[in-house]
Amino acid sequence: MNALRSTLLLALLALTALAASAQTPAPRTAAPQRSGITDIMRAGPSVAVPAPAARAAAQPAQRAAEYIVALVNSEPITNTQVQKRLQRVLEEAGPRAAGVPRDVLTRDVLEQLISERAQLQLAKEQNIRVDQMAIEQGEQSVARQNELTLTALYQRLSQAGISREEFRNNIRDQLLLTRLRERELESRVRVSEREIDDFLAEQRGGAGAPAEQINIAQVLLPLPENATPAQVAAVQKQAQDIAARARNGEDFAKLAAEFSQAPEARGAGGALGLRAADRYPTLFVEATQNTAVGGVAGPLRSGAGFHVLKLLARERGASAADATITQTQVRHILIRPDDKRTAEQIAAQLAEYKRRVQSGSADFAALARDHSQDTGSARNGGDLGWTVPGSFVPEFEEAMNRLQPGQISDPIVSRFGVHLIQVQGRREAKLDPREARDAARNVLRDRKMEQAYEAWAQEVRHRAYVEMREPPTS
């Protein structure tokens, strides 16, 4: 999935609010990115960051109203946790949340917390772990994105009433969720060579036409696992009624807030965000290709359930035939933690390799051939060739993009192990046939990941035992 791609999306969103208040690395498989409240609802465990005064004023009421609202496999979710997440959703959504009933938004926040809790429990069952180095790397990434030092970062967090422990725990949970999703979804998504051929043929057919961007809003009515024909018929009938109401002029955002079970339903009015058409599921693109802006399509049936769509915008971009892309020539050394060496110990070893290369006493390529555990690149001195954006997992790509040609990164941890990265060159160029196939594969994988995530998240949620207690109250 191309776009829900940052492993630290939640933390970055939290810091955005804070600022306002004053193997060869594989293609990315983080969950698809969306805009606005969609990111918030999908991002992970909450770190709400209101202004310090507002937070201080809210604390007594939260303490007085503390109680369990739900149990997920016997693990509690409290009213305070719901209210903290809700506060962050409202702050991030701003005017977009206007008109959405608070009880509807609260219910949706609780459902998202339940889903996330079930996923975190599954990550624990699968023995997925995040080491301290990855958490520290996450802290540094958040600070960089917000142009702060670590010291300034935690001063700002402290002013907002957020402890370092709370923030680090949030980063850890988000990394756990991302790694779980990567592991679970990779096995579900395959892109065939035939699909790549068809995609490229389609692109060539319209090579002279400007690239198109669209914004679609949806109402999603999910179907339970192993739905009976009667259940399918009932949900389909409800979707048809919603589509009819939308076509008759009812406010689509309000319909999404009332009926949709998709994460973007409430504050964003069901909007998925303006992006290239090839970043949307093929089902959505085909259903709206002959729809005028403002028109309604559907209901459509997918693996997730029934969708009612509204085309919010359609724009033309630059010609794909004239487009160039930034390519990076990069090499790396990869060493994986094991029972004998921790990530921190490996990082110290790689830092020593960096010092030796920079002093001229060692050669990067020779060290890669002798020590890298990425067998595919080690024999070539760690060389990964000329690569295009989206080729690597986010941690690797972020570190690579910060380097100038000739520079070497500090050790970087990803789900594959610990890397030492050197950028050898950078250029602007059109894609050659091999690179075009790689880019097409990424686009098609993103589409399939988008669809697979929805179905997978519902499966995890439905497998969990959930006991609802008292409703949340502010």
List the structure tokens of 120. Answer: 């975190």
CA–CA distance, 231 with 281 (Å, rounded to integer): 25
- Euclidean distance between CA atoms 330 and 377, whole angstroms: 11
Q: Are 91 and 264 in contact (CB under 8 A)?
A: no
CATH of domain 9-187: 1.10.4030.10
Strands 383-387 and 68-72: unpaired
Domain layout of the chain by residue ranges: 9-187, 194-321+436-465, 325-429
Using only the alpha carbons of the chain, give its radius of gyration.
Answer: 23
What CATH class has 194-321+436-465? alpha beta
CA proximity to 332, closest of 369, 300, 297: 369
Residue 392 burial (CB < 10 Å; 0-12/13-18/19+)?
A: buried
List per-residue pLDDT tens for the chain, 474 residues long: 333 333 333 443 344 333 333 344 443 433 333 322 222 233 333 333 333 444 444 444 444 468 999 999 989 999 988 888 888 778 776 666 666 788 888 888 899 899 999 999 999 999 888 888 889 888 888 887 777 788 888 888 888 778 888 899 989 998 998 889 888 888 888 888 998 888 888 776 654 445 678 888 889 898 876 788 888 899 999 999 999 999 998 888 888 888 888 765 555 677 887 777 877 888 888 888 888 888 999 899 887 789 999 998 887 654 444 456 788 999 999 999 988 889 999 999 999 999 999 999 999 999 999 999 998 999 999 999 988 887 888 889 889 988 899 999 999 998 899 999 999 999 888 777 777 788 788 888 878 887 788 888 888 999 999 999 988 887
Residue with tokens 């035992």: 465
| DSSP states of 235-250 | HHHHHHHHHHHHHTT-
Question: From CA 273, how far away is CA 39, in angstroms rounded?
Answer: 11
pTM exceeds 0.85: no
Q: Which CATH class is domain 325-429?
A: alpha beta
Asked if the domains 9-187 and 194-321+436-465 are classified in one and the same CATH topology, the answer is: no
